[in-house]
Amino acid sequence: MSQRNLIEGNPVLVVVDIQNGDPPQAGVTPIPHMQSDGSWVTNATKLIQGARDANVPVVFIQEAHRRDLIDFGRELDGAEGVHLLEGDHGTEIRSEIGMTEDDYFIKKRRYSCFFGTDFELLMKGLHANTLIFIGGLTDVCVHYSFVDGHQNDYFCRVVEDSVTGSSLDAHKASLNAMEYLQTGARRNTAEVLQTFQQRAEDLTVAESLGEPQSVLR
């Protein structure tokens, strides 16, 4: 299959679970994370601002569980411990990425942003065609959300230097798996920012000509 454009139709930036994170318990982190210099968070922050400048909707996803653990299901059968409980500081969206009142917010109980949420209703309302995923974990919530997007016929992109995984091997394997589903799914921050910048410039021109924003869709 030939590679599609980075953006097909109307894009949405999906910010998956960029949260403060739970502190270690008895020296063990509830959710494993790969070693990282933190640049992925810096990149994600740039993309969020770039999306806003280009009039691209930004949707923040937050995983949050009830404190009585009733909605964990089988999540605790694997490598993860109890994590991201409602009311905990670690569950809150990280302040440095700058969520605003103009952004959209979805709370989820499970890994995929589609599962048991109104995410699909929001996408229909936004007339979304392309979902651009950033955040974490690459091999868990990002991957499963990507797959559900793919199965619901969205064009899906993952920004490989704006996501982080549970391990480097798992991160790489999931990026490869997503690329397998849609050729050209793997993108980098620089090229997405460039595309957003071009859309912002097109929007400025359209506004100067008195054209509706819908001409960019």
1 is a domain residue: no
Residue 85's alpha-carbon distances to 26, 75, 93, 185, in angstroms, are 18, 13, 13, 32
- Measured distance CA(134)–CA(35) in Å, rounded: 17
Give the pLDDT confidence score for residue 15 in this predicted structure. Answer: 98
Locate all alpha helices (DSSP H) within 54-161, ordered by sequence: 119-125, 143-151
What sign has the CA pseudo-torsion 22, 103, 214, 200? Answer: negative
The CATH code of the domain that includes 205 is 3.40.50.850
pLDDT tens digit string along 126-151?
999 999 999 999 999 999 999 999 99
pTM: 0.91
Torsion of the alpha carbons at 124, 130, 134 and 135, rounded to the nearest 10: 30
Yes or no: say if 111 and 144 are a contact pair by the CB < 8 Å rule. yes
Give the pLDDT confidence score for residue 32 in this predicted structure. Answer: 78
pLDDT band at residue 81 using 50, 70 and 90 as cut-offs: confident
Torsion of the alpha carbons at 163, 141, 47 and 107, rounded to the nearest 10: -150
5 is a domain residue: no
- Measured distance CA(181)–CA(95) in Å, rounded: 33
Give me the percent of the chain exceeding a pLDDT of 90: 76
Domain that holds residue 125: 11-216
- pLDDT higher than threshold 70 for residue 49: yes
3 is a domain residue: no
- Measured distance CA(204)–CA(201) in Å, rounded: 5
What Rg do the C-alpha atoms of the chain give, in angstroms?
A: 17
pLDDT tens digit string along 84-123?
898 999 899 999 998 999 999 999 999 999 999 999 999 9
- Measured distance CA(160)–CA(154) in Å, rounded: 18
Give the pLDDT confidence score for residue 217 in this predicted structure. Answer: 46
- Measured distance CA(123)–CA(12) in Å, rounded: 8
- pLDDT higher than threshold 60 for residue 185: yes
- Measured distance CA(108)–CA(21) in Å, rounded: 15
Give the pLDDT confidence score for residue 139 in this predicted structure. Answer: 96
Give the pLDDT confidence score for residue 121 in this predicted structure. Answer: 98
21 is a domain residue: yes
Mean pLDDT, all residues of the chain:
92
- What is the pLDDT averaged over residues 168-192? 97
Give the pLDDT confidence score for residue 17 in this predicted structure. Answer: 95
Phi/psi at 32 (nearest 5 deg)? -65, 145
Span between the terminal Cα atoms of the chain, in Å? 24
pLDDT band at residue 2 using 50, 70 and 90 as cut-offs: confident
- The residue type found at 63 is E
Q: How many domains does the chain have?
A: 1
125 is a domain residue: yes
- What is the pLDDT averaged over residues 200-212? 79
- What is the pLDDT averaged over residues 22-28? 66
Q: List CB contacts of 70: < 8 A, sequence separation 6 or more.
A: none
Give the pLDDT confidence score for residue 216 in this predicted structure. Answer: 44
6 is a domain residue: no
